[in-house]
Amino acid sequence: MVIVTTRIPGVADMVRTVDHSIEMERLGTQDMMSFFEACVFGDQQQPWQDHPELQDVGHKIVLKLKGFPLAAKTVGRLLRNQLTFDHWTRALESKEWESQASDNDIMPALKLSYDYLPFHLQQCLSYCALFPEDYEFRAEELVHLWIGLGILHSDGQKKRIEDVGLCYLTDLVNQGFFKKNVPRFGNPYYTIHDLLLELVVKVSSYECLSISSSNVMSIQIPPSVRHLSVIVDDADVKDTVTFEDYKRGLCALEKRFEVQNLHTLMLFGKHHGNFSRIFHGLFWEARALRTVFLSGASYNVEDVLPNFSKLLHLRYLRIKSAGLYVDKGLCVPSVLCRLYHLEVIDLLGWKGSFGSTRHISNLVKLRHFIVPQEELHSGIFEVGKLKFINELWAFRVGQDSKLFEPSQLGKLENIGGLLGIYNLEKVQSEEEATESKLIHKSRLQELILEWDVQRSDRDPTLEENVLENLVPHSNLRRLSIRGHGGTACPRWLGSNLSVKNLESLSLADLSWGNLPPLGEMWMVNDLGGEYQDCILGQRFQNLKTLDLVKIPTLRKWVWDSTYLFSQLEELTIKNCSELTELRYSHHSSGLPQQEKGMAWFPRLKSLRIEDCPKLLSFPPIPWTSGPCSAMIKRVGNGLEKLIYKEETESDSTLSLEVKGKYGEDCVFLNGLVFSNLIYLKEMFIENCSPLLLDHLVLLTSLEFLRISGSSNVLSPVESVSHVQCLLPVKKLSVDRCGCNGMELTQLLSLVPELTEMTIVGCQEIKWLGVAGQSSASSSSSAAEQLHHGQIGQQQQQQQELKGGVDGVLLLPPQLQKLTIEEFPELSLLSNSLEGDKEGGGLQGLCSLQSLEIRNCPKLLHSYSSSSIPFPTSLQKLILDNCGEFRGEGIGPLLAQGHLTNITVRETPKFFASSEPLDKELLPCSSAHEELKLITDDIAGFLSAHSCGLLSSSLSTLIIGWNEDAELFTHEQAEALVLLTSLHTLAFALCKKLQCLPAGLHRLASLETLNIQFCQVIRSLPEDGLPSCLKELLIVNCPAIKSLPKGSLPSSLQVLDISYCPALVSLPKNGLPSSLQKLVIWHCPALKSLPEDGLPRSLQEIKIRGSTAINSLPKGGLPRSLQVLDVHRCDNEELKRQCRKLRGTIPKIMI
């Protein structure tokens, strides 16, 4: 179902598919007044009590808002800034209300809010008119753009202009013009409501212009326009007609406005590079540009801006590539280092090459150099020239060159983001370290100090002194120290803590004898002696993230009330080889263990512990029922892995995975705080002790439970109260557990909502039945029948059941999906009482839709052709290695019309027949329009009997996984032709198959032929392919050298040839005139496309990894072509030729 919302009735009439639309009423006066009050006064009770003089004015304003919540939101935020009678009266009497065209017109209310914004906020907002609708802005992106536009000023304050920009953004959020979105994963982003964007476009139309295919011919362009964006959507290149229409519109722009006056240019859309020829001519005279943003670039900048080297006023350059893959043929302009006014260079999304960055220091005004690799920062010569640079991700100390001495860093007085200093082992003295002047960098937010851990020579004393002199400013927020060779924590991070406001601290590869003030710590010395390390009187006040990695001296860490981590959100501990204990102090609080986490870590969201093999004592997991995540891997106590998390941003499923070491019943499971798992949806347990029922019943949201490798599924219980212990589990998987049938049956009795079940290799289970099977009397359970010896008439079965019911698993009848695997001895309880052949087996599963049985050779062997054990509700059946089972009785299931998907492998007698067909049980084509069969039994299925049974119903046949068949016999080929309804045929993983069956051309309905992983097939049938074939796919067939000498079918629309290394040529007579799509992947021997050209019908060509194709056909490409994709092809010559075609084909991906 698709729901369309619109403010325009005409749009609703155009797109609706039903007879009527649902008209959403606007808010009534009373509701609108309540919402308006909330927008102005927040949660304040009796809001008008303190401002009674405003109530009457407010009521009149609400009437003008016409019931629109967005209008109430924006106007309300305007009015709350000044709760004065004069301010509200001016808003009420504004002339903007007079421009209201109708009751549906919300613009006057929005315009009123805009008019009351300070001019600097109006400026910042107006340039957003250049962006596409629903664009997601990052805070840094907006601030950098405003810097490039020159509209941010510090006014002599100590604030950086970046901080000024963030303040402006906050103001616009508070005023309701931007909405801040905070996803569960990733960074916050900002959006503008489409109506507000419409307003911004309107008020900025004299300076800002956004071109799209919908307005390119009609939009009025004032001569005052200085800022331009062009948006190319996927729909603009969907076919040749729309592509050519947009090209004509863009070409006409050159005569409609003065390009030489442009200050800003933005190009949007991953396919806008296909208009690069148009842009090349259009922007030839654009030499006054200050701001350039190319979003979705698939070209060199000079291809769009031919005079890029002359953009002497350029202050902002941002380029994002269109694709995901690196294009070696594209490079950042070499003249970049000569555009001396540049303040922002953002190449984070650039996938081309960069060239040398050594002379970036010539750009003395540069504030931001944002690139995907830190090496691009470390290669800058004389970085000290960049006095305004905000971040330097990597500075590598080089003792052989003055260009890379720490004194270079001393010149960066304004650095305010990240500074990473590497190769500190090359610093030769304390004085040299002091020259970096870190203590004076009051705006620095993040600092990385790293020594090369692979260095051969270490001088602990020198390295201690160097670190003592790398004292950062107390304003620092994030600090990382890695590989330091000293033996002690520096005083500024320990006993004389000067960076108390740190929000993030990361320590890695350190052998310090003492650590920063983080609580009671016990350290171990070189001789194995243990001693306590505790720094009193010092504390981090705002620590949110803490990483401890490779700290071999740390043995115990105990938290108590003296060291509260009230702000800590993320804690990571890795590779601490001596760590044995992480716990809360027992004597410091009377709180239960599971509540201490909330007391001392009230905001902890993420806990990660890895590779601490001696760790036996853990904090409670999870420590809260609120949102949090934990990952523990390779620790002591038999625990191999624990992962507790929400899956993704779009999928809020909360899951827990606990895996013990192989061969052990890990007891960690019983230490979990189950009372905090009330929202858990999925639980995966492997090699753990059996679950306690008292714990399991606390999981009131659990939907999927998977237990693997445990000695049992539940700890033994004497009695179970079904009313109190029922579980909401809908999906259950039990894999190689030591439970018997009775124990698992007991668990199944507690899950009345179960619809999916998988059971694998539980060898204590010997028999399988259905609870309440219809073949028994209604008052007797299957277990009672076993006890009285009433099930089965076969003497052997009675003898095996005589020992009791422990080995019998009774399945719940409501199952919809069942998978049974790896049971070499498991048998199905047969239909039994008084020779009844209608019940028994799995027929009691009356809702079953999908059944998969693998490697269970005895499960079905007691059933003959006259008694099929499956319910008529079955839609999908997979049988793999099911012994002697025959499928003769499957006719009734096919006749019912439900069974549409059958897979039969390694079940050699399934298609064997000893009885004639019952005409009444033959399925008709109307009942089976999409019957699909997958089998490896070529000899069994390709017979007149089997193919005759499915002649009018089978639509898809996949023959594969056969390692013996070499040739098709005449009888098998003739049987295949009986399948008159077949439209899809595939041969896969037939290792010895030398050729396809003769007579394929006689399959009159076949539309798709797929040949995959057939190692020795050399060619396609000499007598041709079906005349109605539309798709031919040949994948990983290394012996195929050529396609048929005769022509391919004239009906063929798709030809896909992939991973065929011996293929040297396509058909010599050319490709069929009907072909629309040609795909060639990784065919290294194929040197060229057909020399006589390609069919005029061709719409799409994809060439990937086929490096021998180095040119396009001499006859050119057909005019019908809409997509040319070579973006994963390694041949640079081919790519070069394709680039020349830009502007002639709607989509070219390189």
DSSP secondary structure, 73-132, as one string? HHHHHHHTT---HHHHHHHHT-GGGGG--STT--HHHHHHHHHTS-HHHHHHHHGGGGSP
Among 325, 331, 372, 365, residue whose Cα is nearest residue 348: 372
DSSP string, 693-753: HHHHTT-TT--EEEEES-S-SB---S---HHHH-----EEEEES----HHHHHHHHTT-TT
Q: Three-state SS for 615?
A: coil
Among 769, 746, 871, 888, residue whose Cα is nearest residue 820: 769
Among 951, 961, 827, 862, residue whose Cα is nearest residue 903: 961
1033-1056 confidence digits (pLDDT tens): 999 999 998 887 667 899 999 999
pLDDT at 456: 84
pLDDT(181) > 50: yes
Mean pLDDT of the chain: 84
As given in the structure block, the two tokens for residue 980 are 């008159």
Task: Give 780's pLDDT tier (boundaries 50, 70, 90).
Answer: very low
SS3 per-residue string spanning 800-816: HHCCCCCCEEEECCCCC
Q: Three-state SS for 896?
A: helix
* Distance between CA atoms of residues 1025 and 1028, nearest Å: 9
pLDDT(746) > 60: yes
Q: How far is CA 139 from CA 33, 198, 266, in A?
A: 33, 21, 18
pLDDT at 528: 77
Among 702, 755, 749, residue whose Cα is nearest residue 729: 702
Q: Which amino acid is located at 650 in the chain?
A: S
Cis peptide bond prior to 622, omega within 30° of 0: yes
Vertex 918 angle, CA 912 and 920, to 5° = 140
* Average pLDDT of the segment spanning 689-713: 90
Task: Give 588's pLDDT tier (boundaries 50, 70, 90).
Answer: very low
pLDDT(929) > 70: no
Q: Which amino acid is located at 767 in the chain?
A: W
879-890 confidence digits (pLDDT tens): 999 998 888 777
- Report helix angle 119-126 to 161-174, nearest 10: 90
pLDDT(833) > 70: no
Domain boundaries, the chain: 26-116, 128-204, 206-372, 1050-1150
Highest mean pLDDT among 103-117, 387-401, 744-758, 1102-1116: 744-758
As given in the structure block, the two tokens for residue 569 are 């959100």
Q: Which residues contact 329 (CB under 8 A, 6 or more apart)?
A: 352, 1132, 1135, 1136, 1139, 1150
pLDDT(160) > 80: yes
Q: Minimum mean pLDDT among 283-297, 972-986, 1080-1094: which range?
A: 1080-1094
pLDDT at 980: 92
- How does DSSP classify residue 830? P
For 1103, phi then psi, to 5°, come to: -125, 120
On the question of a common fold for 26-116 and 128-204, the answer reads: no
**Top-confidence residue, 747 or 648:** 747
589-610 confidence digits (pLDDT tens): 445 555 555 556 788 999 999 9
Q: Are 1073 and 1051 in contact (CB under 8 A)?
A: no
**Top-confidence residue, 704 or 661:** 704
- How does DSSP classify residue 273? G
Among 1137, 1149, 1139, 1092, residue whose Cα is nearest residue 1112: 1137
Q: Which CATH architecture has domain 128-204?
A: Orthogonal Bundle (1.10)
**Top-confidence residue, 535 or 1042:** 1042
Between 3.40.50.2020, 3.30.420.40, 3.40.190.10, 3.80.10.10, what CATH number should domain 206-372 receive? 3.80.10.10
Neighbours of 743 (CB within 10 A): 20
* Average pLDDT of the segment spanning 454-458: 87
Highest mean pLDDT among 18-22, 491-495, 533-537, 1022-1026: 491-495
Q: Which residues contact 544 (CB under 8 A, 6 or more apart)?
A: 503, 504, 567, 568, 569, 570, 603
**Top-confidence residue, 527 or 839:** 527
pLDDT at 784: 45
Residues in the chain: 1150
pLDDT at 777: 34
* Distance between CA atoms of residues 594 and 810, nearest Å: 39
pLDDT at 1047: 72
pLDDT(93) > 80: no
**Interstrand relation of 227-231 and 208-211 (parallel, antiparallel or unpaired):** parallel
pLDDT at 836: 44
Neighbours of 70 (CB within 10 A): 16
Q: Are 143 and 166 in contact (CB under 8 A)?
A: yes
318-339 confidence digits (pLDDT tens): 999 987 776 777 899 989 999 9
The single residue listed with the structure tokens 């049985």 is 853
487-529 confidence digits (pLDDT tens): 999 999 998 999 999 999 999 999 899 999 888 889 988 777 8
> How large a percentage of the chain has pLDDT more than 70?
83
* Distance between CA atoms of residues 451 and 432, nearest Å: 15
Highest mean pLDDT among 63-67, 369-373, 805-809: 369-373
* Average pLDDT of the segment spanning 691-712: 91
Task: Give 195's pLDDT tier (boundaries 50, 70, 90).
Answer: confident
Q: Which residues contact 169 (CB under 8 A, 6 or more apart)?
A: 124, 139, 142, 143, 178, 190
pLDDT at 1: 53
Task: Give 107's pLDDT tier (boundaries 50, 70, 90).
Answer: low
Neighbours of 371 (CB within 10 A): 18
Surface-to-core class of residue 590, CB atoms within 10 Å of its CB (0-12 exposed, 13-18 middle, 19+ buried): exposed
pLDDT at 91: 67
Q: Are 1001 and 1021 in contact (CB under 8 A)?
A: yes
Task: Give 304's pLDDT tier (boundaries 50, 70, 90).
Answer: very high
pLDDT(446) > 70: yes
pLDDT at 649: 54
Among 725, 716, 731, 734, residue whose Cα is nearest residue 698: 725
* Distance between CA atoms of residues 1066 and 122, nearest Å: 62
* Distance between CA atoms of residues 311 and 133, nearest Å: 29
Task: Give 5's pLDDT tier (boundaries 50, 70, 90).
Answer: low
- How does DSSP classify residue 710? -
* Average pLDDT of the segment spanning 399-403: 67
pLDDT at 805: 65
**Top-confidence residue, 1137 or 917:** 1137
pLDDT(798) > 60: no
681 Rama sector, left if φ>0, alpha if ψ -120 to 50, beta otherwise: alpha
Find residue 362's DSSP bridge partners. none
184-194 burial code (b ≥16 CB/10 A, e <16): eeeeebbbbbe
DSSP string, 292-339: EEEEEE-S-HHHH-TTGGG-TT--EEEEEESSSS--TT-B--GGGGG-
Highest mean pLDDT among 103-107, 113-117, 684-688, 731-735: 731-735
Among 192, 193, 182, 187, residue whose Cα is nearest residue 140: 187
Q: Which CATH architecture has domain 26-116?
A: Orthogonal Bundle (1.10)
Q: Are 53 and 85 in contact (CB under 8 A)?
A: yes
